[in-house]
Amino acid sequence: MFGIDLIDAALMPAATVALIAGVLSFLSPCVLPVVPPYLAYMTGITVNGLQTRERSAVPPALMFVLGLSTVFLVMGFAASAFGRLFLEYQIWLARFAGVMVIVMGLHFLHVFRIPLLDQEARLEAGDQGGSAFGAYVLGLAFAFGWTPCIGPQLGMILSLAATEAEIGRGIGLLAIYALGLGIPFLLSAIFINRAMGLMNRIKPYMKTIERVMGALLVAVGIMLVSGRMADLSYWMLETFPALATLG
């Protein structure tokens, strides 16, 4: 259909969800407010020093993004490998994952609260401020330990990765999620003064962003449970025929 098979078609909505989830993870209440202090720590200067361009925050920010991307790509490989291992039970795995994603979405929508998701389990990078290695390690720690805000979103993308028939596609989904989270971080380092002004304007809408993330989780969870991701793929191809050229 449209010169593209079902697996390719199914990847497009999943990739779109991964990108949106990455951006919303960056904008979430426990990530966005700590971006300036993180950039300052990684650069080895104060927040005021960032604003006066005392030292460029771009190289450490790039190493930070490489660190978190490393973890996400490994997770993508593991999730895809797990999905292939239990390929004959993939429908049931997708349904179970969908239920878990819906539960996490309802948490973000404040239908009920899950205490575990309200706790932070951060890993410390040690006294490595101002070094490229320290920024990379901090990226690793961030990906492993920042559970309250990125855990549910990451779990959703891992669930999608586990339903992919090829390991490369699962890794690709996690790479796209890493881009959605990492590119805004890099842009913040490049345009620090404008970014800080924008962050201050966004802060009053933190709860709204959290609810949007919850709605996205619930929607994806429902599609996983009902097996409707393929239907969304065909709808995207019929609505945007040019996407067929990507196959």
Joined tokens for residue 135: 């920024």
More confident residue, 42 or 145: 42
Domain ranges of the chain: 6-246
pTM: 0.83
Reply yes or no on whether the pLDDT at 176 is more than 90: yes
CB atoms within 10 A of CB 203: 12
Reply yes or no on whether the pLDDT at 65 is more than 90: yes
Average pLDDT over residues 32-38: 88
Reply yes or no on whether the pLDDT at 97 is more than 80: yes
Average pLDDT over residues 129-136: 79
Confidence of residue 178 (pLDDT cuts 50, 70, 90): very high
Confidence of residue 98 (pLDDT cuts 50, 70, 90): confident
pLDDT in the model for residue 74: 92
